[in-house]
Structures are given as C-alpha cells and as structure tokens.
C-alpha cells in the first residue's frame, strides 16, 4: 500500500456516519502465524516463533510473540449470541486442550465489513510484556469506534505492541454487539403486546457485552501481568461515547478506574419513547407486528442488518438510516450519562475528554464541492450539514468576524465541526468541573499533511497517535518526524494517565484540569500549548441553542 495516499473517511470508525475499518486480513502476508509484516513498520509488526501459553477460566490458549510482546487474539469472553439474541450473553463454552489464539475473532454483524462477521462475536485481544510475573501493570482497554453501528477491535491501527514497549503495560481490544443486535429496544413493545419481559435488556445488550468483557479482564488481570485495580478505558468516537455511558451504569461500577475519551461523548441516551418508535419502524420494514417479536430471534442476521440500513430514521440529524445507541431503559441505564450532571458514581474516576479541530473533514471532505464553496453557496450547505439549529447566516457572520481570513470552505468545515458533536464534549467537561471531578481536555490541532493538507485534524486522526501506529497505512498521518513527535506526546500522555490518573509528562506543557473559570485545554500540535478557552467565540455561538445528542428524540 502507498502510505502517501489518503484513504476514504469511511474506512475509519466514526460516530457521525457510516464507516468501516479496513480488514487486517487484507494486509496479512503469508506466514506460519499470519503476522502483520508491513514495509516501513517492522518496529511494530515483526514476529518471532514463540508460542506463549496462558490459562483462562475456560481453558488454555496459545498466542504469538511480537518483538517480545506476547499477543493473544480472538479470546472468547462470552458465548455465541445467536443463542441469546437481544438478551445478555451467556458465558463462553469451555474447551479441552489448548486453543489457538493466533488470529482475530469474527466482528459483530454489520454491513460493509470485509472481515468475517457473525453473531458469535464476543472476542478480545491481549498484548502483554509478560505473563504471571506479579508486576501488576496498568491495563488499557480500547473500545472501538464506528458509532454503535459498526467497527471491531481488529484494526491494525489498534495494535498494542508499541504501547506495551513504551509503557510496560497491558493492552486489550475487543468486539461487542452493535446496531440492532446490540441496541434494539423491544421492552415496551413486548410488554404492551405480549405482557412478557424476555426482551427487557434488549436496548443495551451491547453495553452488557462490554461489562462482561470488563469482568473477564478483571478476573484475568494477574494471568496477563496486569493490575485488576488499575484498568483504564480508552476509546475514540463511538468508543468514547460507550465509555461515557458506562460511567453512568451501576452494573459497571468498579470495573474501571480511569477513562480517556477521544471525539466521543454521550450526554444523553435515547429515551424509551424514541427507542420504541425506532423499534416499531424496524418491525414495519420487516413486516412484523409486535405480537410476532419471537420471529426476530430466528430471522437470518443478514435480513435484520438489511432492514436497519433500509429504514429511515425519524430524526433530522441522522444519515437516512435507523439510529441505534444506549437507551434510558431503567434496567441497565437509570439516568442520562451526563445530563443534568456528571454521573456521581464516576466522580472519583479521572477523565480525559478530547476532540479534533477539523472533525467533519473526515465525513464531508470527500466531496470536492465542499472545498470550493462560494459565499453564496455556503448558507444552503450549512443548513444541510450542521446539526445545531442555528440560522446559517448568523453562523457565517459570526465566523467572518472571528476569522476574517477564512474562506467559505474553511467556515463550512469549522462550523459543521463546532455545530455537531463538539458541544457535547464541552458539556461533559463543564459537568465534571461543576462536580469537582478531574477532567483533562485536549483539542487536537495537528493536521495530516497528506493530499496537500486538505483533511486537516480530521475525526480519528488521534487514534494512530495514542497507539503510536503512524506507520500503519490507515493512520493517514504520514510518517514524518513531526508526526512521530505528536505520536510521542499523545501515547506518553495516555501511558502517564494509565499509571497515575494524570496525563502530564515531560514532553508536553503542564496540562491542568478543566475549570469553568479558565477552560484550560491542551492544544495538541508539533509543539503543544495549554490554552484557555480555545475557540471561545465558536463555543459561545453554539451555546445559544440546546445540544441534542444523537438518538435522544
């Protein structure tokens, strides 16, 4: 692959639109272990002939070794969810002998995924410097993006080798149920039509999967050289949103101790009325009545996936397909994650909240027209593409005052970024500040140099930076010394945060927690700076209207 050619934005998981992650199997070279060997990336993807053995609650597993890091892929943490569709998963079945953990397990059912998908998808992957040595290393658990609709933990961008080498810690990625299989809320339809509660948990089984995975991690921490009392969740886009929801989930209490979120926030969940409305629309597409809910358990998974894609969402801000996400079901989730305040149960959990300066260039930058807009064309484009309901001409006038040198296209990308998910990140930071809980906020400004810089600091650019996987073709960062310098800053901040709950290290200026008085924000660039209230004018503009989380209504 050509590292100088940028890949389409849909190839990176995101929470704003359809996306898929390039399958790692497309990048595999022939070899006994199927190890990833990429030109120019041997420091990450080399392999040895070692086959380390580990013990799990269900049996022994055999992994591989990669630059001295022990790697186990495709470890089951739950049973085949085809047998528990729309319900919490059963435990994984035990096995005899030694099970190979050499390749990733199937991703959750979804459209457009080039790697294998199946309802038997509850797998996780572990990178660790050592087994059973009693060192109690920090454990980093990554929750993938793709909204609540698609993605997996198997992308080469998420390879944990470099983090392990840098920080002497344990890295884990995982798969869980998505879209209708993970978040179709059937409880109210079932209660009204059938008077039963078989599907009481259906609206959040994807979150139940995450809880089951974290219980597995805690149980096996010592086996993989980690500390069960020092588990950091980190995730980008939908991954960050899932983490925010877990922060307000009583069943997840005690399963993690720090959170590092990247362009992913969840202020409110879907209300039960809205979630029920979406479930009814899906039933209508499938030509089923609520009295026929039992048939959903036996339909081919492909039929359900097709129906979710073919059903238009009633919300103005969705992308013409049905939205799925966590539901305020009073079963798993009893309160909105960050409304009206930050969750009390997570008050003592340190948090990082980050966004990129040019988020929407990942979604809207593929249209050449958006890079060559006139002032006359801009109002209609803004009306179509910004989520916040602000008069487009007021937006344009404000941006021309704030940034007189901006072109119409620069205003377009800046305003659509500020008017989509960014206000949710601000609300989370403000809620934490009011609570007196530590929140470290960053704004990622360093822009990709590829394609003459047209993508800027796009949504997901910070993934490769925190994993230090900029040599991977999907990173879209280039491999310049400047890119590596930014990766050094971000990955070291993550490692410091996992160790101490404080992201400060010698490679960045002193990073202070966010306060309502100063709004301290680390602006990440080749030379990062701590700035008070960056983009304050934009923040005030969009604070004039309520922020509405996707799927709430």
Is residue 5's pLDDT more than 90? no
The pLDDT value recorded for residue 369 is: 96
Is the pLDDT higher at 50 or at 91? Answer: 91
Inter-residue contact 139 to 170 (CB < 8 Å): yes
pLDDT tens sequence across 98-141: 999 999 999 999 998 889 999 999 999 999 999 999 999 999 99
**Domain of residue 525, CATH code:** 3.40.50.1820
The pLDDT value recorded for residue 173 is: 98
Is residue 387's pLDDT more than 80? yes
Any domain includes 366: yes
For residues 220-233, give the mean pLDDT. Answer: 98
Domain count for the chain: 1
Any domain includes 327: no
Is residue 36's pLDDT more than 50? no
> Binning pLDDT at 50, 70 and 90, where does residue 534 land?
very high
The pLDDT value recorded for residue 321 is: 86
pLDDT tens sequence across 337-372: 999 999 999 999 999 999 999 999 999 999 999 999
The pLDDT value recorded for residue 114 is: 86
428 secondary structure, DSSP code: H
Any domain includes 249: no
Is the pLDDT higher at 21 or at 500? Answer: 500
For residues 325-334, give the mean pLDDT. Answer: 97
Tokens describing residue 195: 């008077």
For 437-506, give the DSSP string. Answer: --EEEEEE-PPB-GGGGTTBS-TTHHHHHHHT-TTSGGG-S---HHHHHHHHHHHHHHHHHHHHS----T
Is residue 319's pLDDT more than 70? no
The pLDDT value recorded for residue 22 is: 31
For the whole model, what pTM was predicted? 0.91
> Binning pLDDT at 50, 70 and 90, where does residue 205 land?
very high
Q: Residue 238's Cα: distance from chain center in Å?
A: 4
The pLDDT value recorded for residue 514 is: 98
pLDDT tens sequence across 433-447: 999 999 999 999 999
Least trusted range by pLDDT, from 29-43, 57-71, 261-275, 485-499: 29-43
> Binning pLDDT at 50, 70 and 90, where does residue 49 land?
low
Any domain includes 461: yes
Range of the domain at 507: 356-542
CB under 8 Å to 215, separation ≥6 — which residues? 255
State the catalytic residues.
Answer: 237
Give, for 2, the enclosing helix (H) or strand (E).
none
Any domain includes 212: no
Number of helices and strands in the chain (H, E): 16, 14
Any domain includes 427: yes
Quote the mean pLDDT of the chain.
91
Any domain includes 216: no
327 secondary structure, DSSP code: B
Alpha carbon separation from 164 to 70, 161, 444 (Å, rounded): 10, 5, 23
For residues 220-231, give the mean pLDDT. Answer: 98
Is residue 23's pLDDT more than 80? no
The pLDDT value recorded for residue 317 is: 65
pLDDT tens sequence across 145-204: 999 999 999 999 999 999 999 999 999 999 999 999 999 999 999 999 999 999 999 999
Any domain includes 94: no
């Amino acid at each position: 692959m050509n590292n100088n050619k940028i890949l389409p934005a849909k190839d990176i998981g995101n929470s704003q639109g359809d996306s898929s992650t390039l399958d790692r199997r497309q990048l595999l070279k022939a070899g006994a272990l199927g190890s990833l060997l990429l030109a120019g990336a041997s420091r990450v993807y080399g392999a040895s002939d070692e086959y380390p053995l580990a013990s799990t609650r269900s049996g022994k597993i055999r992994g591989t070794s990669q630059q001295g890091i022990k790697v186990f892929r495709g470890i089951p943490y739950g049973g085949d969810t085809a047998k528990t569709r729309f319900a919490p998963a059963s435990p994984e079945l035990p096995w005899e002998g030694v099970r190979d953990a050499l390749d990733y397990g199937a991703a959750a059912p979804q459209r457009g995924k080039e790697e294998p998908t199946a309802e038997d998808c509850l797998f996780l992957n572990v990178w660790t410097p050592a087994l059973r040595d009693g060192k109690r290393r920090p454990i980093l658990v990554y929750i993938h993006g793709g909204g609540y609709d698609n993605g997996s933990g198997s992308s080469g961008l998420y390879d944990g080798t470099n983090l392990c080498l840098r920080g002497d810690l344990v890295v884990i990625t995982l798969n869980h149920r998505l879209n209708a299989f993970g978040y179709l809320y059937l409880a109210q339809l079932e209660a009204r039509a059938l008077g039963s509660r078989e599907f009481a948990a259906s609206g959040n089984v994807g979150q139940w999967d995450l809880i089951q995975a974290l219980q597995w991690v805690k149980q096996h921490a010592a086996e993989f050289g980690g500390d069960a009392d020092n588990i950091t969740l980190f995730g980008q886009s939908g991954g960050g949103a899932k983490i925010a929801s877990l922060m307000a989930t009583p069943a997840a209490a005690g399963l993690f101790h720090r959170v590092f979120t990247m362009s992913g926030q969840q202020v409110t969940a879907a209300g039960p009325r809205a979630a029920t409305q979406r479930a009814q629309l899906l039933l209508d597409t499938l030509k089923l009545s609520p009295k026929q809910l039992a048939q959903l358990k036996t339909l081919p998974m492909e039929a359900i996936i097709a129906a979710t894609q073919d059903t238009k969402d009633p919300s103005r801000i969705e992308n013409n397909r049905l939205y799925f996400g966590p539901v305020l079901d009073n079963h798993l989730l009893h309160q909105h994650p960050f409304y009206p305040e930050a969750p009390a149960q997570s008050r003592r959990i340190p948090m990082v909240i980050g966004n990129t300066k040019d988020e929407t260039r990942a979604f809207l930058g593929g249209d050449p027209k958006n890079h060559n807009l006139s002032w006359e064309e801009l109002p209609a484009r803004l009306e179509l593409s910004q989520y916040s309901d602000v008069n487009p001409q007021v937006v344009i006038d404000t941006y021309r005052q704030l940034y007189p040198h901006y072109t119409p296209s620069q205003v377009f990308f800046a305003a659509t970024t500020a008017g989509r998910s960014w206000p949710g990140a601000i609300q989370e930071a403000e809620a934490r500040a009011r609570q007196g809980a530590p929140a470290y906020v960053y704004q990622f400004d360093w822009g990709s140099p590829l394609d003459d810089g047209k993508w800027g600091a796009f949504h997901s650019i910070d993934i490769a930076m925190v994993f230090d996987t900029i040599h991977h073709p999907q990173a879209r960062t280039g491999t310049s010394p400047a890119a590596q310098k930014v990766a050094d800053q971000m990955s070291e901040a993550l490692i410091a945060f996992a160790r101490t709950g404080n992201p400060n290290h010698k490679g960045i200026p002193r990073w202070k927690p966010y306060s309502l008085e100063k709004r301290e924000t680390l602006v990440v660039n080749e030379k990062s700076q701590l700035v008070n209230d960056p983009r304050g004018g934009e923040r005030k503009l969009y604070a004039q209207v309520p922020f509405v989380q996707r799927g709430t209504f």
